[in-house]
């Protein structure tokens, strides 16, 4: 199963934000399970780095991100993705639209985010980290 992680999930892992860390770190650990392919976008990675750097400093943030990036698959954001977002009148936040269409283009079956309202327009399943773990792991 291909799963897309939003930036806020990555941030909760990098910054060990409890209580989210309990679920988001478990979700990220599924990258080692052959039944799952865990995706994010380069944009989400950049956002996560920004918030990790603020908390831990550039050197530690870069080290953490390097470890995380080795476990993840990455979507792409190209002209087709941008065109889809621009044409979809339901989408009001460009960044969320870019994440959504990059996830679709990579074949992801769901998006995991801690702010379900960001993907109100989604036609694929949207879950929190806890919701994903409860629905698919236990």
What structural domains and CATH numbers belong to the chain?
Answer: 2-137 (3.40.50.1010)
The count of C-alpha atoms lying within 13 angstroms of the C-alpha of 138, restricted to the half-sphere facing its C-beta, is 10
What average pLDDT score do residues 20-41 get?
96
Tens digits of residue pLDDT in 70-82: 999 999 999 999 9
pLDDT at site 129: 98
pLDDT at residue 138 greater than cutoff 80 = no
Summary mean pLDDT of the chain = 96
Tens digits of residue pLDDT in 45-54: 999 999 999 9
What average pLDDT score do residues 106-135 get?
97
Q: Residue 86: phi, psi to the nearest 5?
A: -65, -35
pLDDT at site 92: 95
């Amino acid at each position: 199963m291909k799963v897309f992680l939003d930036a806020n999930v990555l941030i909760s892992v990098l910054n060990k934000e409890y209580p989210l860390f309990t679920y988001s770190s478990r979700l990220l650990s599924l990258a080692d399970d052959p039944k799952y392919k865990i995706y994010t976008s380069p944009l989400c990675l950049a956002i996560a780095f920004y918030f990790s750097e603020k908390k831990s400093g550039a050197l530690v943030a870069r080290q953490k991100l390097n470890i995380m990036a080795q476990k993840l698959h990455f979507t792409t954001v190209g002209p087709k993705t941008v065109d889809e977002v621009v044409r979809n009148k339901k989408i009001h936040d460009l960044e969320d639209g870019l994440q959504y269409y990059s996830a679709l283009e990579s074949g992801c079956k769901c998006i995991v985010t801690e702010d379900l309202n960001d993907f109100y327009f989604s036609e694929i399943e949207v879950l929190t980290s806890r919701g994903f773990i409860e629905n698919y792991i236990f």
